[in-house]
Amino acid sequence: MCILVFGGSGFIGSRFIKRLHETESSVIINVDKLSYASDQTNLDFIKDDKNYIFYKKDINAKDEIREIIIKHKPKCFINFAAETHVDNSIESSYEFIKTNVLGVQVLLDLFREYHSDTKNDKLKFIQVSTDEVYGDLSKSDSPFTEKNRYSPKNPYSASKAAGDHLVFSYINTYKLPLVITNCSNNYGPNQHREKLIPKTIYSALNNKPIPIYGDGTNIRDWIYVDDHCDALIEIINSKYEFNHFNIGGNCELENLSLVKKICALLTDKLNNNFQYEKLIEFVTDRPGHDYRYAIDNSFIVKNLDWRPMTSFDKGISGTVDFYLNKYQHE
Residues that are catalytic: 131-132, 156
User: Is 71 within 8 Å of 45 (Cβ atoms)?
Assistant: no
Return the bridge partners of 221, or none. 252
**Long-range CB contacts (< 8 A, 24+ apart) of 263-267?**
263/200, 263/204, 263/210, 265/316, 265/317, 265/320, 266/201, 266/204, 266/205, 266/320, 266/324
Find the length of the chain. 330
User: Is 96 within 8 Å of 155 (Cβ atoms)?
Assistant: yes
Q: What separation in angstroms does the CA of 297 have from each of 137, 160, 246, 300, 309?
A: 16, 20, 5, 6, 13
Nearest to 149 by CA among 289, 244, 254, 249: 244
Return the bridge partners of 128, or none. 181
The bridge status of strand 219-224 relative to strand 252-254 is: antiparallel
User: Is 16 within 8 Å of 9 (Cβ atoms)?
Assistant: no
Q: What separation in angstroms does the CA of 127 have from each of 107, 152, 299?
A: 10, 17, 17
Q: Which residues of 211-245 are buried (b: 16+ CB within 10 A; e: fewer)?
A: bbbeebebbbbbbbbbbbbbbbbbbbebeeeebbb
**Which class for 27: exposed (0-12), middle (13-18), buried (19 or more C-beta within 10 A)?**
middle
